[in-house]
Amino acid sequence: MEDLKAPSIDYAAVAPILILFGAACLGVVVEAFVPRRARHAVQLTLALLATLAGLVVVITQASTRVTTAVGALAIDGPAVFLQGAILVLALVSLLLMGERKLEPGGAFVPQAAITVGSEADERQAARAPGLTEVYPISLFAIAGMLLFVAANDLLTMFIALEVFSLPLYLLCALARRRRLLSQEAALKYFLLGSYASAFFLFGVALVYGFVGAVDLASIHTAAAESDRDPLLLYAGLALLSIGLLFKTAAVPFHVWTPDVYQGAPTPVTAFMAACTKVAAFGALLRVLYVGFNGLSWDFTPILGVVAVLTMIIGAVLAVTQTDIKRLLAYSSIANAGYLLVGVLASGERGLASTMFYLVAYGFSVLAAFAVVTLVRDADGEAGHLSRWAGLGRRSPLIAGLFTFILLAFAGIPLTSGFISKFAVFAAAMEGGQTWLVIAGVISSIVLAFPYLRVVVMMWLSDPSDATPTVSVPGVLTTAALAIGVAMTLLLGVAPSLLLDLTTGAAEFVQ
């Protein structure tokens, strides 16, 4: 047999992924060798530096357009842009995770294995420093996401999906307060996530049955040229979409979202809401735009129905929520619907507007969850909405910032929310998907109600004894909150900075 030729890998192009994986492994080693007292500082620094280094390399690779590792990875415009977006948003989430001022020991449980409610549990909840393994685990998740948006064949994509999902399941279980809720959330997310992964894998098998390969270029060619019965291809695409739509939290695959968002530690919720959305939509865009773009006439009506359902159900259920984290979870479901509108708009406009939306939404949602971590009483965060009544009188600055973010979510002009909604709806109009835009506008109107209700509650109600105090944030949370709010404002008043970037990046390589 002939000798194996080592595959050529463009190491510069994949360097961000490698840096993050390397730093994650290093983090595990740090856990073993660095004394306990210094671990938190070392781990946080390492994670931030690695993310920053990855970001710098991504920026230097801004004009790279290659497929590498024998076609397994495509480092092209959308991949580089989305990798950059994931890294920036992850950087901000890491700041939130690293905060230890708000609560002695941070938001994470010191020892997850201690029985909930036992004497040892009460002792550790009071003062023991939180787990530091969360940083290497988060780095693994970030690295998996970077790989996920660059994967050019379905097998690599599946492995990347698992690589970033497993750490997320773990992180969900590590809340310091309300640990049973947190563990339940992790178990639900794990079980449902495994089902979704199984669907994805099943879809890969069916697509392989039709195409005889799993790389997206071959799928594109086979879909266009093969004269066989395309049933396998359709069934495969349907199952693949289930796997991906689960991660994006689209209806009817959304049921995990509220429980998981509520149960997970708030910094992790922020991380999931911002970064997982970017990664999942990045992969969905690549699968639909590169592999299956020849079938867009066939999948657009079905995914359109999913988008409409997602927007309407997310918005309607958000109205009935009484917990701020659940409210934001349903709002994130509705936002997945708007993003799907952008995806279905197809073409360069659709791609660019979806990418813009992802970044703009990511920053806003990070800032929103940063505020949620601040509003707390002796038992931890005060999640129930009735407790937020009168917050505007007690701490006008924080309530003001939160109001601004909520207005951005509602799509008021001069915020990034307006520009991003406008961009995806305009792209959808151009792509001939008027019905999606109509549903989107109706859903936006419905969704404005719960946001405005919170605003009214904060400013127009009198503070009661139950109104919690707003803790003074540490440097890290302040930075995260400031970045989130500043970007929401900046992308609202000067969107062309990012719009130019997304338009320039909006082309996949085959």
Partner 1 sequence: MSGGEATLFWILAPLAVIGALGMVLARNAVHSALWLVCTMLSLGVFYVAQAGPFIGMAQIIVYTGAIMMLFLFVLMLVGRDASDSLIETLRGQRVAAIVLGVGFAGIVGAGLSRALAGTGAIGLDAANENGNLQGIAQLLFTKYVFAFEVTSALLISAAVGAMILAHVERAKGEKPTQVDRMKARFAPGSYPGPKAGPGIFATSDSVATPARLPDGTFAERSISKILPVRELTSEESALKGTEK
Closest of 269, 258, 262 to residue 97, by C-alpha: 269
174 binding partner 1? (CB under 8 A): yes
Q: Give me the DSSP letters along 202-226.
A: HHHHHHHHHHS--BHHHHHHHHHH-
160 binding partner 1? (CB under 8 A): yes
Only segment of 65-73, 307-315, 466-474, 478-486 that touches partner 1 (CB under 8 A): 65-73
Only segment of 208-216, 251-259, 466-474, 482-490 that touches partner 1 (CB under 8 A): 208-216
Query: Is the distance from CB of 85 to CB of 151 less than 8 angstroms?
Result: no
Nearest to partner 1 of 169, 425 (CB atom): 169
Query: Is the distance from CB of 266 to CB of 108 less than 8 angstroms?
Result: no
Q: Minimum distance between the CB of residue 177 and partner 1, rounded to whole angstroms? A: 18
**Would you call 6 helix, strand, or coil by DSSP?**
coil
155 binding partner 1? (CB under 8 A): yes
CA atoms within 13 A on the CB side of 202: 13
Q: Minimum distance between the CB of residue 14 and partner 1, rounded to whole angstroms? A: 8
SS3 content of the chain, % helix, strand, coil (to 5): 75, 5, 20
**Sheet with 375-377, side-by-side order of all strands:** 380-381, 375-377, 469-470
Q: Give me the DSSP letters along 374-439.
A: HEEETTEE--BGGGGTTHHHH-HHHHHHHHHHHHHHHT-TTSHHHHHHHHHHHHHHHTT-HHHHHH
Nearest to partner 1 of 47, 439 (CB atom): 47
Nearest to partner 1 of 131, 359 (CB atom): 131
170 binding partner 1? (CB under 8 A): yes
25 binding partner 1? (CB under 8 A): yes
Q: Minimum distance between the CB of residue 417 and partner 1, rounded to whole angstroms? A: 34
Nearest to partner 1 of 148, 402 (CB atom): 148
427 binding partner 1? (CB under 8 A): no
d(Cα 229, Cα 459) in Å, to the nearest integer?
61
Only segment of 158-166, 250-258, 341-349, 475-483 that touches partner 1 (CB under 8 A): 158-166
What mask of x and - would describe binding to partner 1 in positions 110 to 149, judged by CB under 8 A?
A: -xxxx-----x----------x-x--xx--x--xx--x--
Query: Is the distance from CB of 467 to CB of 411 less than 8 angstroms?
Result: no
Going by their DSSP bridges, the two strands 66-68 and 375-377 should be labelled as unpaired
Applying CB under 8 A, among 180, 191, 224, 231 the residue interacting with partner 1 is 231
Backbone angles phi, psi at 425, to 5 degrees: -70, -40
Backbone angles phi, psi at 487, to 5 degrees: -70, -35
Q: Minimum distance between the CB of residue 263 and partner 1, rounded to whole angstroms? A: 15
Q: Hey, CA dihedral for 337, 341, 344, 348, is it positive or negative?
A: negative
7 binding partner 1? (CB under 8 A): yes
Backbone angles phi, psi at 34, to 5 degrees: -90, 135
d(Cα 81, Cα 6) in Å, to the nearest integer?
29
Query: Is the distance from CB of 341 to CB of 282 less than 8 angstroms?
Result: no
Which residue has tokens 């999942």? 280
Q: Minimum distance between the CB of residue 286 and partner 1, rounded to whole angstroms? A: 16
Please give the size of the binding site for partner 1, defined by CB under 8 A. Answer: 49
90 binding partner 1? (CB under 8 A): no
32 binding partner 1? (CB under 8 A): no
Closest of 333, 507, 361 to residue 423, by C-alpha: 361
509 binding partner 1? (CB under 8 A): no
Residue 301: how many CB atoms within 10 A of its CB? 12
Q: Minimum distance between the CB of residue 460 and partner 1, rounded to whole angstroms? A: 39
Only segment of 18-26, 91-99, 316-324, 330-338 that touches partner 1 (CB under 8 A): 18-26
456 binding partner 1? (CB under 8 A): no
**Would you call 73 helix, strand, or coil by DSSP?**
strand
| Terminal CA-CA length for the chain | 31
Query: Is the distance from CB of 292 to CB of 215 less than 8 angstroms?
Result: no
Applying CB under 8 A, among 30, 55, 58, 73 the residue interacting with partner 1 is 73
Nearest to partner 1 of 268, 327 (CB atom): 268
Applying CB under 8 A, among 34, 65, 162, 509 the residue interacting with partner 1 is 162
Q: Minimum distance between the CB of residue 143 and partner 1, rounded to whole angstroms? A: 7
Could you give the angle at the alpha carbon of 315 between the alpha carbons of 312 and 319, nearest 5°?
A: 135
Structure tokens at 223: 């879909």
Applying CB under 8 A, among 156, 266, 353, 467 the residue interacting with partner 1 is 156
192 binding partner 1? (CB under 8 A): no
Only segment of 66-74, 248-256, 328-336, 438-446 that touches partner 1 (CB under 8 A): 66-74
Nearest to partner 1 of 36, 297 (CB atom): 36
Applying CB under 8 A, among 130, 167, 383, 431 the residue interacting with partner 1 is 167
256 binding partner 1? (CB under 8 A): no
Q: Minimum distance between the CB of residue 156 and partner 1, rounded to whole angstroms? A: 4
* Cis before 252 (ω within 30): yes
Question: What residue ranges bind partner 1 (CB under 8 A)?
Answer: 1, 4-7, 9, 14, 21, 24-25, 28, 69-73, 111-114, 120, 131, 133, 136-137, 140, 143-144, 147, 155-156, 159-160, 162-163, 166-167, 169-170, 173-174, 206, 209-210, 212, 229, 231-232, 235
